[in-house]
Amino acid sequence: MANPTEYREASGFIAEIIRTNRRKSADIRVEEGAVSIVVPSDTPLEKVDQLLASKRRWIKEKMALHQLTAPASSREFVSGEAFPYLGRNYRLKIETGAFAPVKLVHGKLLITLPQSTQRPSMVRNALVRWYKRQAEQKLKEKVTRFAPVVGVSPMGVGIRTFKSRWGSCTAKGKLEFNWQIMMAPNRMVDYVVMHELCHLIRHDHSPEFWHELGRVMPDYPQCREWLREHAERVRF
């Protein structure tokens, strides 16, 4: 994929353009209310705009459905609101202008958006994208660092949205992580990575599994308890 941070503003939503040499046709996706369009690398922007316009009603219906089914959140997605990242709170700063994705600048989560009645959902979607990007980078780094400690070789790392779990290990040996774990303190993220790596040795929660986890992470009970107690603080 060549340029994963290219965007187009449309009526009421922002679409992320993902260019790839592996496709011959376009694919529009609405995941968690965030819109992305996967296109062949040489697709002109005019064509992208046409595709988004032709699917506008379908996109808006998908976004509305997500808002209806999403769990109730106390967050307002406005300037000054605090969002945790690796256990530390950062204030959101929203500026008005042409869309620019979330950046962590001078201790603030900065985002630029056009004026819109849909602004809160746009802010949420932009934050989800940012957290997912951080998760993809940081969790891959941690897996690479901890896999030799555990003594395993995972088949890959993926980022997903889980309703009630922080990660999973597939039968084929791929590790998948919930992007929302990035809101927890760094040590809790280490615990989730170690936990899934140990599932490559024991694919259950038997005493042997916990013994294996305790061998590489003696403080895992405290981490597990912290996540149980504070699960609501690290989700939105």
Does the residue 75 lie in any domain? Answer: no
Choose between 24 and 217: higher pLDDT. 217
**106 three-class SS:** coil
Does the residue 150 lie in any domain? Answer: yes
* pLDDT band at 74; cut points 50, 70, 90: confident
Q: What is the CATH number of the domain that holds 184?
A: 3.30.2010.10
Q: What is the pLDDT of residue 1?
A: 38
Same structural domain for residues 222 and 146?
A: yes
Handedness of CA 56, 62, 68, 70 (dihedral sign): negative
Choose between 114 and 102: higher pLDDT. 102
CA atoms within 13 A on the CB side of 197: 26
- Statement: residue 4 has pLDDT above 60: no
For residue range 126-181, what is the model confidence (pLDDT) as tens digits? 999 999 999 999 999 999 999 999 999 999 999 998 888 999 999 999 999 999 99
pTM, two decimal places: 0.83
Beta bridge partners of 9: 14
Does the residue 77 lie in any domain? Answer: no
Handedness of CA 227, 190, 223, 209 (dihedral sign): positive
Work out the angle between the directed axes of helices 207-216 and 119-150 (0-180°, nearest 10).
90
For residue range 166-220, what is the model confidence (pLDDT) as tens digits? 999 999 999 999 999 999 999 999 999 999 999 999 999 999 999 999 999 999 9
- Domain of 40 in residue numbering reads as 6-69
Q: What is the C-alpha separation between 87 and 185, in angstroms, rounded?
A: 4
Same structural domain for residues 145 and 123?
A: no
Same structural domain for residues 150 and 172?
A: yes
| DSSP H or E segment with residue 9 | strand 6-10
Same structural domain for residues 106 and 188?
A: no
Q: What is the pLDDT of residue 227?
A: 95
* E-only strand ranges, 82-178: 82-85, 88-96, 100-105, 108-113, 156-160, 167-169, 174-178
Same structural domain for residues 195 and 158?
A: yes
- Statement: residue 73 has pLDDT above 80: no
Same structural domain for residues 10 and 56?
A: yes
- Statement: residue 53 has pLDDT above 80: yes
Q: What is the pLDDT of residue 3?
A: 46
Q: What is the pLDDT of residue 2?
A: 41
Q: What is the pLDDT of residue 63?
A: 85
Does the residue 101 lie in any domain? Answer: yes
| Total count of domains within the chain | 3
CA neighbor of 15 nearest in space, from 161, 126, 103: 126
Choose between 78 and 9: higher pLDDT. 78
Same structural domain for residues 138 and 188?
A: yes
